[in-house]
Copies of this chain bind each other. A is one copy, B any other.
Amino acid sequence: MAGSTFGTIFKITTWGESHGKALGVVVDGCPAGLPLCEEDIQRYLDRRKPGTSSITTPRKEDDLVEILSGVFEGRTTGTPISLVVRNTSQISRDYSEIASYYRPGHADYTFDAKYGFRDYRGGGRSSGRETIGRVAAGAIACKLLEQLGVSVHAYTRSIGPIQADLTHFDAEAILSTRTAMPDRAADEKAVAYLEQARENSDSVGGCMECLVTGVPAGIGDPVFEKLDANLAKAIMSIGAVKAVEIGDGTSVSARYGSQNNDPFRVNDGIVTKSTNHAGGILGGISDGDTVLIRAHVKPTPSIYQPQQTINKTGEEIDIQIKGRHDPIIVPRAVVVMECMTALTVLDAILLNMSARLDNIVSFYRK
């Protein structure tokens, strides 16, 4: 069934395969009047590009975005914004081997089980390139959120056992290190760790985190459209994510209530909390504090060590994967997390406008 649409008011529909002609997204429901150009989107796409360093794949992917509709005289018109990225560097090569078996940790087998066959070139629709549409759409959401005073920032929190030190948060390092960690010392250690894994023909997992500041209190809808529930869906839908936490997340299960409750305080007439274990969400609704989401990402399933698997005819075989693959997914996924978070928060913000009769009356009777 149709699974490529996300959002209710700000609604995106992504499409495209790794080695097809192009990938893209249709953003429908974007409010009219937002200044928008291709550069606004390209900045975000560039963050998910494979780089030139040893820890990202040496593939060259220009991934230039083109706006095909929905923008007129530099502003969004309220009608669907179609964004397309042509696949230019996908080299024609021999896929007969990969077509014949199921790579462990990949979606090869499950796509075949579901659809009867699959586009096996580069992973087809289950490739990380699928996120181009998410990022292109998320760039627009981020730009719109800025107008409302809402900022969304994701970063790498850990790579394998190497944790970023968040007490000396270096925001500038996120965009300039190879790991997207907000900590240059940890970045260096992580790079060394990744080099070692690469030498062992292995890959590595990691953890990423996203902070949203400026979210007004009152965003999210009980009981199924809670802000945290929709964030969990958004982030878990990113390939390779296996766990999602809100605020203090898993650690709450070993706590006492007296440790976990956040006392409400008032600061200059503004409601605050003296701690934020809750991650900015209470009862599924934002409380005005920073929203914090954490995601755990499995190691890249494509490794160069010999592996056991089966082929399409059901025989058990040994394989050795070739090609170019990042030893870690996280640094390039950070912008995807940022974008999925932005899309979720924005949609909830737009939906909240009709929560109270007095607001509706003053909107229409102004």
Are B354 and A9 touching (Cβ within 8 A)?
Answer: yes
Q: Does A323 count as interface, using CB distance less than 8 angstroms?
A: no
CB-CB < 8 A to A158: which residues of B? 253-254
A14, A26, A259 — most chain B CB neighbours (10 Å): A26
Q: Does A165 count as interface, using CB distance less than 8 angstroms?
A: no
Q: Which of B9, B28, B246, B253 contacts A236 (CB 8 A)?
A: B246
Q: Which of B29, B34, B115, B223 contacts A32 (CB 8 A)?
A: B115
Give the A interface residue count (CB, 8 A).
172
Are B110 and A218 touching (Cβ within 8 A)?
Answer: yes
CB-CB < 8 A to A148: which residues of B? 360-361, 364-365
A124 CB to closest chain B CB (Å) equals 7
Residues 287 to 312 of chain A near chain B (Cβ within 8 Å)? 287-288, 296-303, 305, 307-310
Are A1 and B232 touching (Cβ within 8 A)?
Answer: no
Q: Mark A97-121, 1 if CB is under 8 A from B, else 0.
A: 0000010111101110111111100
The SS class assigned to the A binding surface is: mixed
Are B114 and A285 touching (Cβ within 8 A)?
Answer: yes
Are B256 and A202 touching (Cβ within 8 A)?
Answer: yes
Are B283 and A126 touching (Cβ within 8 A)?
Answer: yes
Are B113 and A264 touching (Cβ within 8 A)?
Answer: no
For A118, give the chain B residue with the smallest CB separation.
B77
Q: Does A50 count as interface, using CB distance less than 8 angstroms?
A: no
Q: Does A2 count as interface, using CB distance less than 8 angstroms?
A: yes
Are B263 and A307 touching (Cβ within 8 A)?
Answer: yes
The segment from A51-59, A79-87, A184-192 that touches chain B is: A79-87
For A14, give the chain B residue with the smallest CB separation.
B223
Are A229 and B224 touching (Cβ within 8 A)?
Answer: no
Q: Does A221 count as interface, using CB distance less than 8 angstroms?
A: yes
Q: Does A320 count as interface, using CB distance less than 8 angstroms?
A: no
Are B351 and A364 touching (Cβ within 8 A)?
Answer: no
Are A2 and B15 touching (Cβ within 8 A)?
Answer: no
Q: Which of B234, B242, B246, B264 contacts A308 (CB 8 A)?
A: B264
Q: Mark A213-227, 1 if CB is under 8 A from B, else 0.
A: 000111111111110
Are A2 and B221 touching (Cβ within 8 A)?
Answer: yes
The segment from A39-47, A166-174, A175-183, A266-274 that touches chain B is: A266-274
Are B28 and A5 touching (Cβ within 8 A)?
Answer: yes
A sample of 27 inter-chain contacts (CB < 8 A) reads A1-B221, A8-B8, A9-B351, A14-B80, A17-B79, A21-B67, A24-B82, A31-B357, A33-B358, A72-B118, A105-B260, A106-B282, A107-B284, A113-B288, A149-B364, A204-B257, A224-B237, A232-B233, A232-B236, A233-B233, A245-B250, A250-B296, A255-B298, A258-B303, A263-B309, A274-B308, A363-B363
